[in-house]
């Protein structure tokens, strides 16, 4: 494992840049990671999904899949792709400080 500084905080990340300790995550880190992922701002709809993923991921020990997000968070697949283009489950997991979802390339 390696570390990097995000939003003035040193955090542990894996070789793909996913945080390895969800407890180190902050909303400020989420904002920085979102910018890196091509999202200049996070709307209340983004935060709804991020907050769901954080709660679900911390409870289960793994990032939720796209199917789980769309069935449990009240967001359609189309909305997920609009909010988090090009790989929404992977992108929201990254921004949420969780590991890469199972089944993501």
Instruction: Identify whether 53 is a catalytic site residue.
Output: no
16, 53, 104, 105: the catalytic one is 104
- In the block, tokens 């880190």 appear at 29
For the record, the structure tokens of 94 come out as 């990254």
Cβ-in-10-Å burial (0-12, 13-18, 19+) of 59 comes to exposed
The secondary structure element, H or E, covering residue 32 is: helix 27-36
Cβ-in-10-Å burial (0-12, 13-18, 19+) of 22 comes to middle
User: Any idea which residues carry the catalytic annotation?
Assistant: 104
């Amino acid at each position: 494992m390696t570390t990097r500084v995000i939003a003035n905080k040193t955090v542990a990340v894996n070789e793909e840049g996913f945080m390895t300790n969800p407890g180190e995550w902050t909303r400020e880190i989420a904002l920085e990671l979102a910018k890196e992922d091509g999202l200049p701002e996070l709307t209340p709809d983004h935060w709804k999904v991020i907050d769901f993923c954080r709660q679900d991921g911390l409870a289960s020990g793994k990032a939720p899949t796209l199917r789980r997000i769309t069935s449990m968070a009240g967001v359609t697949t189309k909305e997920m792709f609009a909010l988090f283009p090009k790989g929404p489950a992977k992108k929201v997991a990254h921004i949420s400080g969780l590991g890469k979802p199972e089944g993501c390339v």
